[in-house]
Amino acid sequence: MSGCTSGAFDLFDSSAKVDRSLSTSTIPKRSQEAVSDEVTVRNAVTSADLSKVSGAALPWANTATGSAGVVSGIREANVAGVVCRGFVTTRHSYEGIAKFTGQACMANSGDWMLTSFERQ
């Protein structure tokens, strides 16, 4: 029996290293490609002239990532003095094809911020 336990882990061995390859309770970071695509979609949605788009599909493409998609259903609302645009888009990327819903709102500075972008 001593042969089975002679190589056992020694709790008091100072040379033992902690395995940090696994972690718990972490949120995966978004890739730079995903962030770049989100900015491209936000720019397409917020620069669209809604009087001319009038419900038509709005294509977008990100040359930096190779991703592309089509925005549809852009709707603008003014809630408590804040202008927001909700939308639906597809994203065709090396990861495959996915559908997203999102919202961009205008900040007090006049800049548009993406307030939500959720994969469906």
User: Is residue 61 a part of any domain in this protein?
Assistant: yes
User: Is residue 59 a part of any domain in this protein?
Assistant: yes
User: Is residue 72 a part of any domain in this protein?
Assistant: yes
Q: Which domain holds residue 77?
A: 54-120
User: Is residue 44 a part of any domain in this protein?
Assistant: no
Residues 6+ apart with CB under 8 A from 21: none
* pLDDT score recorded for residue 2: 53
* pLDDT score recorded for residue 32: 77
User: Is residue 34 a part of any domain in this protein?
Assistant: no
pLDDT tens-digit map of 65-116: 999 999 998 999 998 889 999 999 999 998 899 999 999 999 989 999 999 9
More confident residue, 46 or 30: 46
* pLDDT score recorded for residue 67: 94
Backbone phi and psi for residue 97, each to the nearest 5 degrees, phi listed first = -105, 135
Q: How many structural domains comprise the chain? A: 1
User: Is residue 2 a part of any domain in this protein?
Assistant: no
User: Is residue 30 a part of any domain in this protein?
Assistant: no
Instruction: Give percent above pLDDT 70 in the chain.
Output: 75
Residue 19 and residue 86: Cα distance in Å, rounded? Answer: 44
Instruction: Give the global pTM.
Output: 0.71
User: Is residue 23 a part of any domain in this protein?
Assistant: no
Residue 113 and residue 74: Cα distance in Å, rounded? Answer: 15
Question: Mean of the per-residue pLDDT values for the chain?
Answer: 82
Two structure tokens written together for 42: 């936000």
β-bridge mates for residue 112, sequence order: 106
- Average pLDDT (35-49) is 93
**pLDDT at 118 exceeding the cut of 90:** yes
Residue pair 101/88 in contact (Cβ under 8 Å)? The answer is yes
